[in-house]
Amino acid sequence: MIGGEWIRTPLPNDWRTARLRDHVRITNGYPFDSKQFSDSDGMPLVRIRDIFNREAEVFFSGEPVPDAIIESGDILVGMDGDFNAAMWQGGRALLNQRVCRLEPGPTVDRRFLLYLLPAPLRLINEFTYSTTVKHLSSFDIQKIHFPFPDISTQTAIADYLDSETADIDALIAAKQKLLDLMAEKRRAIVAEAVMRGLDPSAPLRQSGIDWLGEIPEHWETERSRWLFSERDQRSQTGEEEMLTVSHLTGVTPRSEKDVNMFEAESTAGYKLCFAGDLAINTLWAWMGAMGTARVDGIVSPAYNVYTPGPRLLPDYVDALVRIPVFAQEVTRYSKGVWSSRLRLYPEGFFETWWPVPPLDEQQQIVEHISTETAKIDRLRTATENSIALLKERRAALIAAAVTGQLEIPEAA
């Protein structure tokens, strides 16, 4: 599989390479019986999804397996998907299957090992061919060769990287916080415009609708049954553009999304959805999976399609249905036993109430939203690019340090 191929630069003369299996003990997690999982009773159980968390989310109420017990500071590797490595910080716990623990011997600094692991694991991931989830075995990890300076050099490198990466991580965290603030501001701009209009001095009145509150007094309100008509036309051939409906992106052509989705052998009989139609993902409406289509196409027969009447502009409809408070409102009219199984059927959707500004004002609102959100989106893109560059810088710094390409200061 993978040995030392990931080491792409010559090592210092006093360094050598070593096999991981000769200096690190690797133990696999245990397949604990899920029937004995608990929310609070027993020992914390660490699964793949938990290795980056400080606390496990589930507990095992049965008899612990001694070899599966881990402590804070243990290095864990997820053996499915992206093969992530992390240092566990959640205290004494049990290690579930598909996660392995790496215990460095006295010749290896555990922090140095944690810094160098992502590069060979990433290369293993590239060579692991799978159409679904990729799987890693402990035998793959044992075959890894790694740069092997003396233990004092490893510790000095780890100290240096702890300091340097902390600064980079702090900057990344600050930029991520900025992204969160921009997303919040974007939502606030849209919600304020579609629910209150653009004139802050306009007299307001009580709408009589709980989710809407006060609206400009010259706006109307109406049940959606008088604003929309359901479209249930079916494709004869299934050759139209396939559209998807998401709470993140609204209605978009599937061809524009980088996703692996189940595709039916034939899409004949799928529902037609024309540009300007409101499409709602019946199962995920409670999450906000709805929006107006920009192009003609087809959607799943399980979705519902509605055509706005003459009193609503499609772009205004799209803006309003994408705000979180509207998703909360339609949840009231959805049917299902559990919140994650709620479905919004036409009879429920037609019970919702809408604000109806004059058409010219709807157009002004749409243009305002487009202008203001474009500014935020440009800043968001620039910030995301800077985060990507910082992550590249971090990875390059680590790669150079663990392969001896940097001169580490004496006082690192």
Confidence of residue 340 (pLDDT cuts 50, 70, 90): low
pLDDT in tens, 392-401: 999 999 999 9
pLDDT greater than 60 at residue 331: yes
Average pLDDT over residues 41-70: 89
What are the domain boundaries of the chain? 16-149, 150-200+358-412, 220-356
Confidence of residue 49 (pLDDT cuts 50, 70, 90): confident
List the CATH code of the domain at 16-149.
3.90.220.20
Instruction: Among 1.10.287, 3.40.50, 2.60.120, 3.30.70, name the CATH number for the domain at 150-200+358-412.
Output: 1.10.287
Q: Report the percentage of the chain scoring pLDDT > 70.
A: 94
The answer to whether the 16-149 and 220-356 domains have the same CATH topology is yes
pLDDT in tens, 109-123: 999 999 999 988 888
> Distance (Å, rounded) from C-alpha 112 to C-alpha 97?
25
Q: Report the percentage of the chain scoring pLDDT > 90.
A: 79
In this predicted structure, what is the pLDDT of residue 14? 93
pLDDT in tens, 251-310: 999 888 765 555 667 889 999 999 999 999 999 999 999 999 999 999 999 999 999 999
In this predicted structure, what is the pLDDT of residue 137? 84
Rounded to 5°, angle at Cα 55 from 113 and 324: 115
Handedness of CA 366, 369, 371, 377 (dihedral sign): negative
In this predicted structure, what is the pLDDT of residue 1? 45
In this predicted structure, what is the pLDDT of residue 357? 98
DSSP 132: S
Residue 359 CB neighbour total at 10 angstroms:
13
Average pLDDT over residues 358-381: 97
The token pair at 163 is 């300091």
pLDDT greater than 80 at residue 168: yes
**Secondary-structure class of domain 220-356 per CATH:** alpha beta
Q: Please, which residues bridge with residue 234 across strands?
A: 271
In this predicted structure, what is the pLDDT of residue 57? 83
Mean per-residue pLDDT over the chain, rounded: 91
